[in-house]
Amino acid sequence: MDRREAEDYIYASYMKAEPFMSYDLPDSRKRHPEYTEDIIRSLYRGKTSVTVTGSKGKGSSALILSAILGTYGRVGLMTGPHIKSFNERFRVGTELISDRELADTVSALKPLFDKTAPDPSMGAFISPIGIETAVAESFFFAHDTDFDIYEHGKGVKYDDVKNIPASYAIINSVFLEHTRELGHTTEAIAEDKACIIRPGMKGIYSGWQSGPVADIIIRHADEAGVPLKLAGRDFDIDRVRFMQNGMSCSVTTKRRRYEDLEISLMGSNQCRNLAIAVAAAEDIVGDTFCVTKKEETALREALLSLEWFGRLSILRKKPLLMVDCCINPASARGALETVSELGIERAVFILAIPDDKDHLGVAKTVCDNGHDIILTKVANPHYRFKGIQQKRLTEAGIPCRYAEDLGTAIRSVGEEGRPAVILGTTAMLSELTGYLGDLF
């Protein structure tokens, strides 16, 4: 098996079942984490593991936590989706899994998964993320990691990552998103993601939540008997400042205050992600966390070395071209804040947000703040763009224009010489790299 064959195998069961699945079915009707439960649990080796969920910032908080824990040991990190290479989903420290190791790991796991034979004609399949989780476990074991971090997909209740018997979990801010799969209210989505909390865990760390979402998380933690730390109650940030190449803020926990931490990621949301990661790292590492000058210096250096493409990433400064993975109004407000801090009063916002995400809410947020809108789509066939967006915006009285693809949209604003911000689903990032060539 080579790397290409390994990647194909990970998706093979899903691809066989896809023609027999209804697009509109929720996760509860089509996903089966029980198919991979025994395999994932048999591979688990009892090391310190953290699982991460949320509607926005879960990948960033996982990355930041990985960098912080990396100053105390070897860290395995599984994230998704990837941008350029499938290998990006698995790393130890900053090193991605190699093509050879990916192929060999999948080859070794294949006999285990081949014993599970769901009927594709009934729409049943072994989830790719279930196989990916097993790959991550095997990869981390081979590299003798001290801490392992796993990012969940859309939800948790029907997501195979939940088969990891993790000791800690992070729930970043929960918004209305992935309504087709997870539920049509924020409360329903929160109930799904709160399934990350299970009896026996050592700690749960929640980001800034609305009242109803916070209530749901508190209830799940109380029922499971797991200690919970809430943003705004048990840890917080202040002195948030934009810098030329990132952000600065101070983080206060029940244990201590961390003055003027600098992070090489743009947007005030990254300061919130940093606070969650610091709160979790304090408990994971224990009383020895950041007690010496040397450890504090290592922490600060790790935060300044972070790279996370597609999270308010500035691709060009004049005229501005920025990109952010954004599918809801809350994220759009973060992008608007950054644009304002950069001194730009009016920009073109290119929206590549699928039909089942809150494209209307994002468009209204952008329009109400005086910016222009171009609607476009991504080529990935798993994301639905059926032409309804322009109609919905027109009915709502929101002026917009349409570009057939992301490249056309980028070229049009480039010809106009105007600042532009691309907002969309994470899947558009790989497509974006092809249009931008050597720009970054």
CB atoms within 10 A of CB 370: 10
Please classify residue 87 by burial: count the beta carbons closer than 10 Å to its beta carbon, then call 0-12 exposed, 13-18 middle and 19+ buried.
middle
Q: Give the mean model confidence (pLDDT) for residues 312-326.
A: 92
pLDDT attached to residue 386: 82
pLDDT of residue 387: 80
Return the pLDDT at 234.
98
What are residue 422's phi and psi, to 5 degrees? -100, 125
CATH number of 313-439: 3.90.190.20
Q: Which of 46-50, 256-260, 378-382, 413-417 is predicted least confidently?
A: 378-382
What pLDDT does residue 142 have? 97
| Cβ partners under 8 Å of residue 19, min gap 6 | none
Checking if the pLDDT of 177 tops 90, the result is no
Q: How many helices (H) and strands (E) does the chain have?
A: 16, 17
As a whole number, mean pLDDT of residues 103-131 equals 97
- 439 pLDDT band (50/70/90 cuts)? very low
Question: Order of strands across the sheet with 235-243?
Answer: 235-243, 246-253, 257-263
**pLDDT value at residue 50:** 98
Q: Which residue has the tokens 């981390």?
A: 140
CB 78 within 8 A of CB 97: no
As a whole number, mean pLDDT of residues 288-311 equals 96
Residue range 214-240: mean pLDDT, rounded: 98
Pull the structure tokens for residue 38. 């025994």
Q: What is the pLDDT of residue 437?
A: 66
Query: What dihedral do alpha carbons 294, 299, 302, 308 form, nearest 10°?
Result: 180
pTM of the entire structure? 0.93
User: In degrees to the nearest 10, what's the CA dihedral of 330, 332, 334, 338?
Assistant: -170
List pLDDT tens digits, range 178-219: 778 898 899 999 999 999 999 999 999 999 999 999 999 999
pLDDT averaged over the chain? 94
Task: Write b or e for each residue in 49-75: b if 16 or more Cβ atoms lie within 10 A of its Cβ, otherwise e.
Answer: bbbbbbbbbbbbbbbbbbbbbbbbebb
Q: What percent of the chain has pLDDT over 90?
A: 84
**In this predicted structure, what is the pLDDT of residue 440?**
42
**273 closest CA partner among 50, 49, 71, 59:** 59
Mean pLDDT within 288-317: 95
Residue 178's pLDDT is: 78
**pLDDT value of residue 434:** 82
Question: Backbone phi, then psi, for 299, in 5-degree steps?
Answer: -60, -50
Can you give the pLDDT at residue 86?
95
Q: Cα(89)–Cα(99) distance, rounded to whole angstroms?
A: 12
**pLDDT recorded at residue 213:** 97
Structural domain boundaries of the chain?
A: 3-303, 313-439
- Which stretches of 204-266 are DSSP H helices? 211-224
| Crossing angle of helices 128-142 and 3-17, rounded to 10° | 150
Peptide bond into 120 cis (omega under 30): no
Concatenated DSSP letters of 66-121: HHHHTTTS-EEEE----SS-GGGGEEETTEEPPHHHHHHHHHHHHHHHHT----GG
Query: What is the pLDDT averaged over residues 129-143?
Result: 98
Is the pLDDT score of 301 beyond 50?
yes
Choice between 175 and 402, residue whose per-residue pLDDT is larger: 402
Taking the domain 3-303, which CATH number applies?
A: 3.40.1190.10
Q: In the numeric block, which tokens belong to residue 354?
A: 């699928």
Percent helix / strand / coil, the chain, rounded to 5: 45, 20, 35
- The model's pLDDT over 27-68, given as tens digits with 9 standing for 90+, comes to 999 999 999 999 999 999 988 999 999 998 999 999 999 999
Q: State yes or no: pLDDT of 292 exceeds 60.
A: yes
**Identity of the residue numbered 189:** I
pLDDT of residue 135: 98
Compute the average pLDDT of residues 92-96: 97
pLDDT for 433? 85
- Dist CA 170 CA 162 (whole Å): 13
Alpha carbon 344 to chain centroid, angstroms: 27
Rounded to whole angstroms, the Cα distance separating 255 from 279 reads: 9
> Does pLDDT of 99 surpass 90?
yes
Confidence of residue 128 (pLDDT cuts 50, 70, 90): very high
Confidence of residue 322 (pLDDT cuts 50, 70, 90): very high
